[in-house]
Amino acid sequence: MDQPLEYPLHSMSLPLLGEYCAWELTLYQQGEAHNDQHCVELFRRVTTLRDPGAWQVVRYCFSGIISHWLRTHPYREAASQLNSEEYYVATAFARFWQTTTVEGQVVIPSLAVALHYLMMSLSCAVLDGLRSAEKLATHSVAEPEQAEALWEKIQHLLSDERELRLAYLLYYCGLMPREIVQLYPQEFGDVQEIYQLRSRVLERLQDVL
């Protein structure tokens, strides 16, 4: 890629800024000398200006590296049983946004710092998902009285019939996703569909965990 044109970063268009940021990220990953000024400017527009267009460019530029981190994560196998790769990438970005903009403005002085925040956001997404699943699994094998009490709470929190049905099979009956597909193929087409539904169920059940 050609060297950046000589004009102020603040006036550079988002598409061009994104191109140079992606280039800087590639050089960084290859361990080559790089100037991360375009990435810093892109994150400034996100965290300081809260520019939604810049946020979309960040998601475009950094989705690939987050997917790579997930595939090499020590808990990747357990995590993949709970949710899709797309879910973890989206959740990592959501956590990054929460940490750097909603909870307080964070200055991103370098590409390395931005990657640190993104990596930590992904790790939190993976670990939180595993903790939630573990807690629900513990509830599903608890004493009948405890399981009944949990089920009553779940029914109040879930209004969607399919989500409620899946929650019943997962957490009251204690069935695994593959078992549900085998037993109820007309209701649930494949395991991936169950993972997607379960991710929504877990989000709605945080209050009872």
Alpha carbons 92 and 63: distance in angstroms, whole number: 10
Alpha carbons 50 and 41: distance in angstroms, whole number: 12
Question: What is the CB neighbour count within 10 angstroms for residue 94?
Answer: 13
* DSSP state letter for 108: -
Render pLDDT for 67-115 as a digit per residue (tens, 0 to 9): 999 999 888 888 888 888 998 999 899 889 988 887 667 889 999 999 9
Bigger pLDDT: 41 or 165? 41
> Which residues have a Cβ under 8 Å from the Cβ of 78 and sit 6 or more positions away?
130
Q: Rounded to whole angstroms, what are the CA distances from 108 to 40, 43, 95, 116?
A: 6, 6, 15, 10
User: What does the block give as tokens for 42?
Assistant: 């892109």
Residue range 141-208, CATH number: 1.10.10
> Which ranges in the chain are annotated with CATH 1.10.10?
141-208
| pLDDT of residue 55 exceeding 70 | yes
| pLDDT of residue 1 exceeding 60 | no
3-state helix, strand, coil in the chain (%, to 5): 75, 0, 25
> Which residues have a Cβ under 8 Å from the Cβ of 33 and sit 6 or more positions away?
27
Render pLDDT for 152-166 as a digit per residue (tens, 0 to 9): 777 778 878 888 888
Q: What is the pLDDT at residue 67?
A: 96
Alpha carbons 168 and 175: distance in angstroms, whole number: 9
User: What does the block give as tokens for 37?
Assistant: 């000024």
Alpha carbons 16 and 30: distance in angstroms, whole number: 21
Q: With CA atoms as reference, report the closest residue to 131 among 120, 139, 143, 141.
A: 139
